[in-house]
Chains A and B, each alone.
Chain A
């Protein structure tokens, strides 16, 4: 048992965790035929249930899972896993039917929805069940009443509510301006923009994968890897001092980890060129600025050339908007990777204006 726990604790390393989640997504997409088997679906849920069940016997794990704040996350893991599997399965089924020349399953149904009594009645039942479950939940899990807030005493760890844990994780890698304002706004803007940039008429009202491969993959990457798995990471794997702890590891506030990070300007000027850092901020950060500008100004046209088909299909405006949003989204894993591999702190660092990238 301890060996298994130690093994799992090893996997709690953020690099492994992130890479594994990307690999898992790739497997899901690539081997979706296999993935959509019922056995896989039930097997995943069963595995999770067993994992949590056995994990509850470990004191450290139990402390995380049983905390009333974290109960939604546990539910989230099960639900996200289930609904990912379900939607992939539906998509695969429909893809098969379409490949066979049939209409997708949803088309067989009328284009009208039975409202009365079907929809309304089931909504009523769902409302009743939801209320009852919430009552049972609130009776069973008591919110603790803690001591009066003390400005001199910060709880360790200080975690955001679960829906912001992804952003809190982003704060590790990005400047607060970007991680807290710019990127969340772009998430919202991006979600709002989807109807306008997505011109693919397929997949409207029915599950499919093949007909919307790119869109679904991008979305799953953003939702599963960059949002959900970071929430899970923030809940289970981040401990005191925002250090990494395995899910079965004791949260020792004294644990120390080396977090020596270097700016890009240090890398280039000092290490590569062997010179002292220039005085003026613009010269100092010129490499980072060039890199960033290239990322946003050079990459999109490059991508337009690479994905000519999409470029022509979407048109210049749409394509560039999509490309920008996509690049912004990708900047998070890029940043994470550069941090882990190169210990890179900021690409551009201008403390004079409190601006860093």
Chain B
């Protein structure tokens, strides 16, 4: 039994005291650790570094501003000020006296004004009551009227007093001003002179390290009051995040570390302190996307709310940067954010969130190029994509293949297209990475021959327009091909596909065309493409039959590689087996066997060809008989950019980074790679063909795919919609889908033809100002039937033979670029008699005819100095535009040879009209408009 009075202990208390002390100290230390861990953040370090950087930059700016200040002027002004101050000081007594007066007057004014205002308030109230009284009890009101009127009068009197006192006060002020004004003015001038230095100096003072700022205001636990190092965030109500259950305003905290992103002057510094690139188009306050309204993640993706480098899911660009980030910044592949940041070179994929249904975005060159490649490769043909519906089939029609090609050539072609034409857009369908084994080779060969058999068996007949065309001069033919404009759409040599670009590969490569087809077919085609293929986009170059013969003869000489021959042999038993395999997937095996057994060898081959075409989707790119309405085989890509990565099957390809972008790029590099190491039946294998994309093409196409996203952003944040914007959008799409931009530069894009000529003057003209420049009806007539405007040019505008909606689309587009008022513009030219004569005088004085064609091409002029026929001016040009052109040609058409005659505009170096440049120009314009008889599309001249 324990002794209640004994002093026993279960533990040695002194020992417990030590343990208590140790654990309390441990707790204290962990509390400090906790507070410190919460306080010590990565972004605070960046902000501290930036303050130092900003100080440095601002000091440099201060130094620069100080050197800009005109010291002599400043000294002068300061001397003046000193003198003015001395003068003012001399009259100090007078100023003081006036000041005393002023104070008295101001006091009176204040009191009177107060009384005035309160009287008004009282009067208003009284008046209201009176009005009420008048309404309710008009008889009683009369007695009150006098009082109201008196009150009103009193108020007016007070008002008069106020006015007088105010006048007095202003008078005294003016008197004082006479003494002090000069000083004030000079001080204002000094301030203006030193405004930049003052601003910089103030900022430098602000940024100086200070004890209070750095140690107290930003200290742990004390930094809730007024920290100088704070989280910066941008909340964008009009731009939303889709968090699956709701859409919320974006909250981007990127500017916490990227502190100079919208400030000029930091372009040379390393991230995160670098200015945004192209700040006039993005992020700058004067740009269409100011950062305060758009934030950052709408374009760059990533987790905007995060404040650490890692969790924001920054994505490195390339191996080198990945390793550097892993080493220096503790970077890991982001797994915890569905939409990691786009690699910097793919940021333009986000433009499509707001700039929809368009294939050209100004200031978005990579995306525009990506869409160009997307259309050229014909991805939209197999993969339905929003914005690319109802486009034509990207490949030529195969319905009349018999009159064009030989079976053997077709078999070699489809076996390996790039062996015959290295820059072709036709992909390889057989012998890809999952169909290259010897068993596959047998199957491939059987299918290739079967497809060829089917195409030829279903081919229609075609009668050539000219039955026995005569051959011409191949040398002449080569000159024509190289000068008349064929090379704008067709590559003739073995140029790289990406170097040539999507515009110059609009048409088939001409490489090896001589071994591909016959002279007769070439003649028929070049003479009138529509005769062979009614829906072709190839225009009519208005060549004479002789020229056609020359061209066809030249093309016939382009022979070369024969392509790949068969790599395996097969028997009828193989055909039977493969066909049965196809049929077994739709009917029971016994029935399939029976059906196949009942066919002849030829029937089997044709049926196999039909099945193979149906499986590989050839009909999506080529018109093929029997497949007019068949659905394409690819999945829809309209929202592929928003797809979750969990939906993409990486299979056994584990060596690539586990991101969406890498999956797409790998798929584009080798579409069959995700079948690697898998055991699959032939009909289970992947079937996307291989285009042999280069690395840049892969990156660009991945950018395009990432731009296909689900529509999340509200209408308020979309690109503005108006008739003008619709016209711009339609027009931009049109001039790319018909390849106008291959020849003509429009809106700072296109004009690929310039790569083919030495002299810019030998290329087709710039069309950006066309809307302001030419009359619409003239343009319409010209587009329908082009005439020669610049006779020294060999390259000619083809006859496209399009429909009215195309032409109107183009004309509206040009009008929208120049933002003109409309197709109908009034211009009454009622020149006075002397004006035309003066215009003629100036015309001769300035020697316009030295360069401008006027019925004859001027001699002794190099071609790059020649200029269009002025006789067309009246019919063709907008009169107001001629004025703009004469004033500043280089602003309208950079690179033009047209001199600027009126350098002193609105003055003038010439004497006419008392050196009045405006009237001179008008007179020249009026004179020009009197010319008649030039070439005209309207009259078919």
B11 contacts partner chain A, Cβ-Cβ < 8 Å: yes
Query: At the interface with chain A, which of B21-29, B498-506, B558-566, B583-591?
Result: B21-29
* Residue picked from B9, B241, B646, B651, most chain A C-beta under 10 Å: B646
Which residue in A136, A146, A148 is a CB contact (below 8 Å) of B30? A136
A112 contacts partner chain B, Cβ-Cβ < 8 Å: yes
- Interchain CB contact under 8 A, A147 and B13: no
Point out the residues of chain B lying under 8 angstroms from A118, CB to CB: 9-11
- Interchain CB contact under 8 A, A117 and B13: yes
Given contacts A118-B11, A125-B16, contact A145 B338 (CB under 8 A): no
B219 contacts partner chain A, Cβ-Cβ < 8 Å: no
Q: Digit string of B22-43 for contact with A (CB within 8 Å is 1, else 0)?
A: 0110110111011001000000
Name 17 interchain pairs, CB-CB below 8 A, sorted by A. A112-B2, A117-B9, A119-B10, A121-B11, A121-B13, A122-B11, A125-B19, A125-B20, A129-B26, A135-B33, A145-B336, A147-B336, A148-B338, A149-B245, A150-B338, A150-B644, A151-B244
Given contacts A114-B10, A148-B243, 10 further A-B contacts (CB under 8 A): A118-B11, A129-B27, A135-B30, A145-B311, A145-B336, A148-B241, A148-B244, A149-B245, A151-B244, A153-B646
Residue of A at shortest CB range from B2? A110
Q: Digit string of A7-19 for contact with B (CB within 8 Å is 1, else 0)?
A: 0000000000000
Whole-angstrom CA separation of A147 from B242 in the bound complex: 11
B337 contacts partner chain A, Cβ-Cβ < 8 Å: yes
A258 contacts partner chain B, Cβ-Cβ < 8 Å: no
B1 contacts partner chain A, Cβ-Cβ < 8 Å: yes
Closest 3 A-B residue pairs measured CB to CB?
A148-B243, A110-B2, A118-B10
Which residue in A110, A132, A147 is a CB contact (below 8 Å) of B337? A147
Whole-angstrom CA separation of A146 from B34 in the bound complex: 23
- Interchain CB contact under 8 A, A128 and B27: yes
Whole-angstrom CA separation of A322 from B651 in the bound complex: 52
Q: Digit string of A102-126 for contact with B (CB within 8 Å is 1, else 0)?
A: 0000000010111001110110110
Whole-angstrom CA separation of A148 from B23 in the bound complex: 40
- Interchain CB contact under 8 A, A136 and B16: no
B895 contacts partner chain A, Cβ-Cβ < 8 Å: no
Whole-angstrom CA separation of A234 from B751 in the bound complex: 65
Q: With both chains docked as a complex, state the minimum distance between the C-beta of B389 and any C-beta of chain A, in angstroms.
A: 26
Q: With both chains docked as a complex, state the minimum distance between the C-beta of A64 and any C-beta of chain B, in angstroms.
A: 15
Which residue in A114, A135, A149 is a CB contact (below 8 Å) of B244? A149
Q: With both chains docked as a complex, state the minimum distance between the C-beta of B542 and any C-beta of chain A, in angstroms.
A: 58
Which residue in B13, B20, B33, B245 is a CB contact (below 8 Å) of A139? B33
B833 contacts partner chain A, Cβ-Cβ < 8 Å: no
A280 contacts partner chain B, Cβ-Cβ < 8 Å: no
Q: With both chains docked as a complex, state the minimum distance between the C-beta of A294 and any C-beta of chain B, in angstroms.
A: 47
Whole-angstrom CA separation of A95 from B197 in the bound complex: 93
A302 contacts partner chain B, Cβ-Cβ < 8 Å: no
Question: Within residues 130 to 162 of chain A, which ones have a CB less than 8 A from any CB in chain B?
Answer: 131-132, 135-136, 138-139, 144-153, 156
Point out the residues of chain A lying under 8 angstroms from B10, CB to CB: 113-114, 118-119
- Interchain CB contact under 8 A, A114 and B8: yes
Whole-angstrom CA separation of A136 from B32 in the bound complex: 11
* Residue picked from A114, A148, A254, most chain B C-beta under 10 Å: A148
Point out the residues of chain B lying under 8 angstroms from A114, CB to CB: 8-10
Whole-angstrom CA separation of A327 from B336 in the bound complex: 45
- Interchain CB contact under 8 A, A146 and B244: no
- Interchain CB contact under 8 A, A147 and B338: yes
Point out the residues of chain A lying under 8 angstroms from B20, CB to CB: 121, 124-125, 128
Q: With both chains docked as a complex, state the minimum distance between the C-beta of A301 and any C-beta of chain B, in angstroms.
A: 49
Residue of B at shortest CB range from A134? B30
Point out the residues of chain B lying under 8 angstroms from A112, CB to CB: 2
Question: Within residues 223 to 264 of chain A, which ones have a CB less than 8 A from any CB in chain B?
Answer: 254
Whole-angstrom CA separation of A254 from B676 in the bound complex: 14
- Interchain CB contact under 8 A, A254 and B651: yes
- Interchain CB contact under 8 A, B27 and A132: yes
Q: With both chains docked as a complex, state the minimum distance between the C-beta of A295 and any C-beta of chain B, in angstroms.
A: 43
Point out the residues of chain B lying under 8 angstroms from A149, CB to CB: 244-245
Which residue in A119, A146, A151, A152 is a CB contact (below 8 Å) of B336? A146
Point out the residues of chain B lying under 8 angstroms from A121, CB to CB: 11, 13, 16, 20
Residue of A at shortest CB range from B338? A147
Q: With both chains docked as a complex, state the minimum distance between the C-beta of B653 and any C-beta of chain A, in angstroms.
A: 12
- Interchain CB contact under 8 A, B16 and A122: yes
- Interchain CB contact under 8 A, B33 and A153: no
Point out the residues of chain A lying under 8 angstroms from B241, CB to CB: 148
Point out the residues of chain A lying under 8 angstroms from B33, CB to CB: 135-136, 139
Whole-angstrom CA separation of A118 from B31 in the bound complex: 26
Q: With both chains docked as a complex, state the minimum distance between the C-beta of B650 and any C-beta of chain A, in angstroms.
A: 9
Given contacts A118-B9, A136-B33, contact A150 B27 (CB under 8 A): no
Which residue in A122, A135, A139, A152 is a CB contact (below 8 Å) of B644? A152
Point out the residues of chain B lying under 8 angstroms from A254, CB to CB: 651
Residue of B at shortest CB range from A144? B336
* Residue picked from A125, A132, A149, most chain B C-beta under 10 Å: A132
Whole-angstrom CA separation of A311 from B875 in the bound complex: 119
Which residue in B1, B31, B306 is a CB contact (below 8 Å) of A135? B31
Q: With both chains docked as a complex, state the minimum distance between the C-beta of B144 and any C-beta of chain A, in angstroms.
A: 71
Whole-angstrom CA separation of A118 from B338 in the bound complex: 55
Point out the residues of chain A lying under 8 angstroms from B30, CB to CB: 131-132, 135-136, 139
- Interchain CB contact under 8 A, A128 and B24: yes
Question: Within residues 282 to 331 of chain A, which ones have a CB less than 8 A from any CB in chain B?
Answer: none
Point out the residues of chain A lying under 8 angstroms from B23, CB to CB: 125, 128-129, 132
Question: Within residues 348 to 368 of chain B, which ones have a CB less than 8 A from any CB in chain A?
Answer: none
Point out the residues of chain B lying under 8 angstroms from A125, CB to CB: 16, 19-20, 23
Residue of B at shortest CB range from A128? B23
Point out the residues of chain A lying under 8 angstroms from B37, CB to CB: 139
- Interchain CB contact under 8 A, B244 and A131: no
Q: With both chains docked as a complex, state the minimum distance between the C-beta of B686 and any C-beta of chain A, in angstroms.
A: 16
Whole-angstrom CA separation of A119 from B9 in the bound complex: 10
Whole-angstrom CA separation of A135 from B29 in the bound complex: 10
Q: With both chains docked as a complex, state the minimum distance between the C-beta of A259 and any C-beta of chain B, in angstroms.
A: 21
Whole-angstrom CA separation of A156 from B645 in the bound complex: 13
Point out the residues of chain B lying under 8 angstroms from A129, CB to CB: 23, 26-27
- Interchain CB contact under 8 A, B644 and A110: no
Point out the residues of chain A lying under 8 angstroms from B16, CB to CB: 117, 121-122, 125
Whole-angstrom CA separation of A329 from B917 in the bound complex: 106
Whole-angstrom CA separation of A136 from B23 in the bound complex: 13
Q: Digit string of A63-83 for contact with B (CB within 8 Å is 1, else 0)?
A: 000000000000000000000
Whole-angstrom CA separation of A80 from B906 in the bound complex: 96
* Residue picked from A128, A129, A131, A139, most chain B C-beta under 10 Å: A128
Point out the residues of chain B lying under 8 angstroms from A139, CB to CB: 30, 33-34, 37
Residue of A at shortest CB range from B16? A121
Point out the residues of chain B lying under 8 angstroms from A147, CB to CB: 336-338
Q: With both chains docked as a complex, state the minimum distance between the C-beta of B220 and any C-beta of chain A, in angstroms.
A: 14
- Interchain CB contact under 8 A, A153 and B26: no
Whole-angstrom CA separation of A139 from B35 in the bound complex: 10
Residue of A at shortest CB range from B334? A147
Question: Within residues 797 to 817 of chain B, which ones have a CB less than 8 A from any CB in chain A?
Answer: none
Point out the residues of chain B lying under 8 angstroms from A128, CB to CB: 20, 23-24, 26-27
Whole-angstrom CA separation of A146 from B338 in the bound complex: 9
Given contacts A110-B2, A135-B30, contact A150 B244 (CB under 8 A): yes
Whole-angstrom CA separation of A152 from B10 in the bound complex: 60
Q: With both chains docked as a complex, state the minimum distance between the C-beta of B241 and any C-beta of chain A, in angstroms.
A: 8
Q: With both chains docked as a complex, state the minimum distance between the C-beta of A116 and any C-beta of chain B, in angstroms.
A: 10
Q: Digit string of B290-325 for contact with A (CB within 8 Å is 1, else 0)?
A: 000000000000000010000100000000000000
Point out the residues of chain B lying under 8 angstroms from A146, CB to CB: 336-337
Residue of B at shortest CB range from A136? B30
Residue of B at shortest CB range from A112? B2
Whole-angstrom CA separation of A145 from B11 in the bound complex: 46
Point out the residues of chain A lying under 8 angstroms from B1, CB to CB: 110
Whole-angstrom CA separation of A129 from B16 in the bound complex: 13
Residue of B at shortest CB range from A124? B20
Residue of B at shortest CB range from A131? B27
Whole-angstrom CA separation of A132 from B1 in the bound complex: 39
Point out the residues of chain B lying under 8 angstroms from A135, CB to CB: 27, 30-31, 33-34
